Amino acid sequence: MLTQRAIPTGSSRGTNGLSHPVPAPNNALAGTIDMMGAAMPFARNAEIYGENEPADYLYKVVSGAVRTYKVLADGRRQVGAFCLPGDIFGLETGNEHTASAEAITNAKVLVVKRSALMALAGRDNEVARELWTVTGRELRRVQDQILLLIKTAKERVGGFLLDMAIRGAAGNQVELPMSRQDIADYLGLTIETVSRTLSDLESAAAIELPSSRRIVLRNRAALGLPNG
Amino acid sequence: MLTQRAIPTGSSRGTNGLSHPVPAPNNALAGTIDMMGAAMPFARNAEIYGENEPADYLYKVVSGAVRTYKVLADGRRQVGAFCLPGDIFGLETGNEHTASAEAITNAKVLVVKRSALMALAGRDNEVARELWTVTGRELRRVQDQILLLIKTAKERVGGFLLDMAIRGAAGNQVELPMSRQDIADYLGLTIETVSRTLSDLESAAAIELPSSRRIVLRNRAALGLPNG
DNA sequence: CGACCATTTGATATGGATCAAGCGATGTGG
DNA sequence: CCACATCGCTTGATCCATATCAAATGGTCG
């Protein structure tokens, strides 16, 4: 069931929910995942897991990028997170995934059996504490996403670019692995508004757009962040 | 510092963040809080804690209602949660509160020292697991709040009423402890839009408004929920 | 080279914000 | 006990940011 999905370039389905990326904590948990995890390749757009499926595994991105998302009954999709190398995702406190996850690009992902990690947490307090910490970090990230969603389009796009720049850690160069539609669904906007906002930021000399997936930040203060 | 705040009917300040209410888990943690907690009264609008303050305590509502919120640099306020009797709030994985908390009405709250609970969690795996579970439950709640924020005004208000009805567990009767401004800041709308939407729902016979704080659900299907 | 898909750009529509009064309940002081 | 001030809520008129509808452009792959 996991392996069945590893190869096919899956389609975009899913039901309805959000999900998690968490900067790899530099600690026992991350090390444990690296030790215990089985590396699996996922093709672009392949489903890694679906919402409401048993959360038997958790994941850590090695290379490539992953999106988690929920789809509402009317078809609207909300992307909950973009997971980059080092990020942990799919960790649940309940028994089912609360969102679906797909590879955005061809990606390599470490897969760890949850039951094994839970058993370890039962013996090792540090691991238990770190599982909690990872969930807490994800909680803060989602809370920040809410703050982003109440802002203007310019602030949302600016905040998103800033976040990607920080996470990419490549200075002012940002290489976006995801489509405009992914960004729009993450920010609660339409692709047209995302595209227009990027064009506006370029006109305002806040960014450069050498290509649609490559962005150079030129003036961070001009990224439309009147607030935090 | 805690007691100083217990009596005064504090003013509404705060810095910038979100927070958590969690339906009291019917388990060891809830029992422990009930045992270890010191009951404290807070007057209407009194601050319980402020964002970025040391998270030395966590809380459980006994009676009344509490709101957690963040304030952006430009003054916009985002209410993160409404906490009702039984709800746990102020539980952090980090050392600082990520939001501020205030009593909405005069309220009685159980206060527990975090260090004591953490020490207990170090000895008792079940308590440790439940702390994690509470954070995970809060994470799902915040994820649901994001889904609400991408909907139309009618859907947001409808979803909010439905949620309050379920939590209040008083059938179709809903007694709202919070103001229209609180609701607006929770839903990412203005008070005018909240008020108008309620009026519209009343015209559409979906609800009755015997008074501004009392609402009767008449037709749940008509609460504008084309989706989940 | 041609087809397809992602992205940009343009024109128009609209939901919710903003600006501005009114209204009703609550509470206070005379 | 009542008049008045205050506060929270509702309602109205208008504006604007973003969605929607539509078309052109550009980049990629066979």
Q: How far is CA A34 from the centre of its chain?
A: 19
Contact B106, B177 (CB under 8 A): no
What is the Cα–Cα distance from B212 to B106, expressed in whole angstroms? 19
Q: Is A214 on the interface with B (CB under 8 A)?
A: no
Burial of residue B5, with CB atoms counted within 10 A of its CB: 0-12 exposed, 13-18 middle, 19 or more buried: middle
Q: Note the pLDDT tens digit of each residue in A179-203.
A: 999 999 999 999 999 999 999 999 9
The beta-carbon contacts of B160-169 under 8 Å, at least 24 apart in sequence, are B160/B186, B160/B187, B161/B201, B161/B207, B161/B215, B161/B217, B161/B223, B162/B217, B162/B220, B162/B223, B162/B225, B164/B82, B165/B217, B167/B23, B167/B84, B168/B84
Give A10's pLDDT tier (boundaries 50, 70, 90). very low
What is the pTM (predicted TM-score) of this model? 0.89
User: What integer pLDDT is reported at residue A156 of this predicted model?
Assistant: 98
**pLDDT at A24 > cutoff 90:** no
Nearest-CA distance B212 → chain A (Å): 26
**pLDDT at B16 > cutoff 50:** no
CA angle, residues B156, B160, B161, in degrees to nearest 5 = 120
pLDDT, mean of residues A12-40: 67
What is the average pLDDT score of chain A?
89
Give B21's pLDDT tier (boundaries 50, 70, 90). low
User: What integer pLDDT is reported at residue A2 of this predicted model?
Assistant: 41
Give B223's pLDDT tier (boundaries 50, 70, 90). confident
Contact A225, A207 (CB under 8 A): no
Q: Which residues pair with B57 in a beta bridge?
A: B113
Percent of chain A with pLDDT strictly greater than 70: 86
User: What integer pLDDT is reported at residue B23 of this predicted model?
Assistant: 56
Give B214's pLDDT tier (boundaries 50, 70, 90). very high
**pLDDT at B24 > cutoff 70:** no
User: What integer pLDDT is reported at residue B125 of this predicted model?
Assistant: 93
User: What integer pLDDT is reported at residue A169 of this predicted model?
Assistant: 82
What is the Cα–Cα distance from B72 to A162, expressed in whole angstroms? 17
Distance A195 CA to D20 C1' (A): 15
pLDDT, mean of residues B192-201: 98
User: What integer pLDDT is reported at residue B120 of this predicted model?
Assistant: 94
Percent of chain B with pLDDT strictly greater than 90: 80
**pLDDT at A15 > cutoff 50:** no
Contact B40, B7 (CB under 8 A): no
User: What integer pLDDT is reported at residue A226 of this predicted model?
Assistant: 55
Token pair listed for B96: 């600082």
| Nearest-nucleotide field for B199 (CA, C1') | D10
**pLDDT at A7 > cutoff 80:** no
Contact B201, B223 (CB under 8 A): yes
Q: Are B73 and A228 inside 8 Å of each other by CB?
A: yes
User: What integer pLDDT is reported at residue A223 of this predicted model?
Assistant: 87
Strand B107-113 and strand A47-49: pairing? unpaired
Q: For tokens 């889904």, what's the residue?
A: B147
One-letter amino acid of B212: S
Q: Note the pLDDT tens digit of each residue in A33-72.
A: 999 999 999 999 999 999 999 999 999 999 999 999 999 9
For chain B, the first-to-last Cα distance in angstroms comes to: 43
Q: For tokens 């996922």, what's the residue?
A: A42
Give B26's pLDDT tier (boundaries 50, 70, 90). low
**pLDDT at A111 > cutoff 60:** yes
pLDDT, mean of residues B187-192: 98
**pLDDT at B93 > cutoff 70:** yes
**pLDDT at B3 > cutoff 50:** no
Distance B155 CA to C17 C1' (A): 18
| Nearest-nucleotide field for B192 (CA, C1') | D10
User: What integer pLDDT is reported at residue B171 of this predicted model?
Assistant: 87
Q: Are A140 and B94 inside 8 Å of each other by CB?
A: yes
Q: Is B55 on the interface with A (CB under 8 A)?
A: no
- Best of B76, B93, B155 to disrupt the A interface by mutation (most A CBs within 10 Å)? B93
The helix (run of H) or strand (run of E) holding residue A155 is helix A153-168
Q: Are A128 and B125 inside 8 Å of each other by CB?
A: yes
User: What integer pLDDT is reported at residue A170 of this predicted model?
Assistant: 84
What is the average pLDDT score of chain B?
89
User: What integer pLDDT is reported at residue A3 of this predicted model?
Assistant: 39
What is the Cα–Cα distance from A84 to A109, expressed in whole angstroms? 10
Please give, one letter per residue, the 3-state secondary structure of B12-48.
Answer: CCCCCCCCCCECCCCCHHHHHHHHHCEEEEECCCCEE
Q: Tell which residue, B225, B80, B221, B87, has the closest CA to residue A16.
A: B225
The segment with the largest mean pLDDT, out of A30-39, B20-29, B195-204, is B195-204
